[in-house]
């Protein structure tokens, strides 16, 4: 039986040595890897903050671009309306100029009565035309 006790004691000593070796290995591994893990976690936290900052900046820029696009659309619409008004005003002015030119040509085409002074006849014709325009 003594041989059985020796074998059991030897097995127990071997188990304790293995357990102590495993514990010592875990402690050494933790001492080696803990600073590396802390550094990696800090880098992850810093990266997360940077990503959050980038997302915020991107959203802000997207909002600015949208605001600028809306302003550009409003400016384009205003420019189109202004061009339409300018074209309508130009056509109206051309119509008035043509009417005035036709009236002037009609007055110039009138013949002065024979024996009448051309200057006074022209003055009289223009005075009549002016009176008609003012009456309108």
Backbone region of residue 61 per phi and psi (left: phi > 0; alpha: psi in -120 to 50; beta: other values): alpha
In this prediction, residues 93-109 reach a mean pLDDT of 86
For residue 107, give the nearest of 99, 96, 115 by alpha carbon. Answer: 99
Q: What is the pLDDT of residues 11-32, one digit of tens each?
A: 998 999 999 889 998 999 888 9
Say what the pLDDT of residue 107 is: 72
For residue 132, give the nearest of 105, 108, 100, 110 by alpha carbon. Answer: 100
Say what the pLDDT of residue 1 is: 54
pLDDT band at 57; cut points 50, 70, 90: very high
């Amino acid at each position: 039986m003594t041989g059985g006790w020796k074998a059991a004691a030897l097995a127990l000593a071997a188990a304790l040595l293995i357990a102590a070796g495993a514990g010592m290995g875990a402690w050494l591994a933790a001492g080696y890897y803990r600073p590396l893990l802390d550094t990696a976690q800090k880098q992850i936290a810093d990266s997360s903050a940077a990503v959050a900052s980038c997302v915020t900046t991107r959203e802000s820029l997207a909002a600015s671009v949208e605001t600028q696009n809306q302003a550009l659309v409003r400016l384009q619409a205003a420019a189109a309306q202004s061009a339409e008004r300018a074209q309508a005003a130009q056509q109206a002015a051309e119509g008035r100029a043509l009417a005035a030119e036709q009236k002037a040509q009609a007055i110039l085409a009138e013949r002065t009565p024979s024996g009448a002074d051309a200057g006074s006849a022209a003055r009289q014709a223009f005075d009549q035309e002016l009176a008609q325009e003012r009456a309108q």
